[in-house]
Amino acid sequence: MIEDLEELVLCESFTHDLEAVARSAKVVAAMGARYLGAQPEFLVIDGVTHLRWTFGTPKVFLLCHHDTVWPIGTLATHPWSVVDGVARGPGVFDMKAGLVQTFHALAGLGSLDGVTLLINGDEECGSRTSAELIKETARGLAAAFVMEASADGGALKTSRKGTALYTVNVRGRAAHAGLEPEKGLNAAIELAHQILAIAAMGAGATTVTPTVLSGGTARNTVPAAASISVDVRVAEMSEQNRVDAAFHALRPVLPGTRLEILGGPNRPPLESAMSASLYALAQELAADLGVGPLTSASVGGASDGNFTAGVGCPTLDGLGAVGGGAHADDEHVIVAEMPRRTALLRALIEAVRRGA
C-alpha cells in the first residue's frame, strides 16, 4: 500500500493543469487495472479526465477524486516521505491514500459484481464537469461510500453543509468626484447597502459571507460599477432555498442604480438522515473487525458526497485516510490506519451487497 501511495503522490495532479490531470488518470487507471482486473472508461469532459469502472448491475457506488490543490513542482518543497509511520507529500491525505485503500478493498472481494467506482479529476475546483456524471451514476443505488479523508481523529463525515456561490453586480453612473458628483450614481454606496442586506441573511447554522469586493476606476471618479462575491453554507435544503430566494429578492436602494444577481446553489447539503443507517452499519462492522470505536463529525466543507445524497442515494463520507493537514503544509497520513480503513470499506461493500 505504501508503494502504491508513493506512485500516486509522485504523479502530481494539480486540478487546474489538465495535462497533469490526464497524466495522473493514466497512472490511476493502470493501478486500478492491476487490482481490479479490468480497464476503466476514460471519460473526458471539457478536457478533464475522469475514470469509471462498472461491474454487473451497480448497487454500491465508490466515489473518489485524483486531482489535488497542489501546483506542479510542489514535490520540490513537500517531498514524499514515510517517517515514523507518517506519510507526507502533496495530496497524500486529500485524497491519494483514499484511492489506494479503495483499490485494495476491492481487490480483497471475491467478486466485484454490483460495484461501480468513479474517480473524477476536478473535485478540488468544484466538480464543474463531473457533477452530472456523479449524480447520474448515483441515482437509484443502495449506498455511496465517499473516500474523502476522515475528520479529526479518524471521524467519519455524516453530514456536510451545502454550498452556494453568488456574485452581485451593481451598475451606477460615473461622474467627476470633485466637479459634479451629484450627477453620478455611486455604485459603491449601493453595494454597501447590499452587503449589509446580504450579511443579514445568515441565521443559525447558515452562514452567508461576503468575500471578494471590487469597484471603481479612479480616485476622482464616482464608481459606475461595483461587485461582491458571496459564500453561502447551509445544513438543510430548506435553508438553501430560503437564501436563494432572498438573493433574488434583492432590490436597489439608491434610485437609478441596477443590480445583477449571478450564481446560485453549487452543492446540496448532505443531511445526517442520508448517512444514519450506513453509519450505524459501519459502527457494527468496525466493532466486529476490531477497528472501532468509530466517531462521526459534521463539517462545513462540501464534497462530491453532497451530490450523491442530493439525488437520494444514502451516503457515508470520510472513509478515506486518517491523518490531517488537508490543503496545508503539514498534510499527512497515519500509515497504520490504511489497512484498518481498507478492511472496514470492504466489509461495508459486502454488507450492502447482501442487503444489510
Please give the positions annotated as active site: 67, 123
**Percentage helix, strand, coil, to 5, in the chain?**
35, 30, 35
| Residue 97 grid cell | 491514500
- Measured in degrees and rounded to the nearest 5, phi and psi for residue 18 equal -65, -30
Alpha carbon distance 40, 53 (integer Å): 5
- 267, 247, 299: which is closest to 163 by C-alpha? 267
- 345, 269, 322: which is closest to 95 by C-alpha? 322
β-bridge partners, 227:
169, 214
Greatest extent of the chain over all pairs of C-alpha atoms, in Å: 82
- 205: how many CB neighbours lie within 10 A of its CB? 14
Where would I find the H helices in the chain?
A: 2-10, 18-36, 97-107, 131-138, 187-199, 237-248, 276-289, 305-310, 337-354
The dihedral region occupied by 247, where left means phi > 0, alpha psi between -120 and 50, and beta the remainder, is alpha
Alpha carbon distance 356, 349 (integer Å): 10
* CB-based contacts of 277, cutoff 8 Å, min separation 6: 314
> Could you check whether the bond before residue 201 is cis, i.e. omega within 30 degrees of 0?
no
* Class of residue 165 by CB neighbours under 10 A (exposed 0-12, middle 13-18, buried 19+): middle
* Class of residue 301 by CB neighbours under 10 A (exposed 0-12, middle 13-18, buried 19+): middle
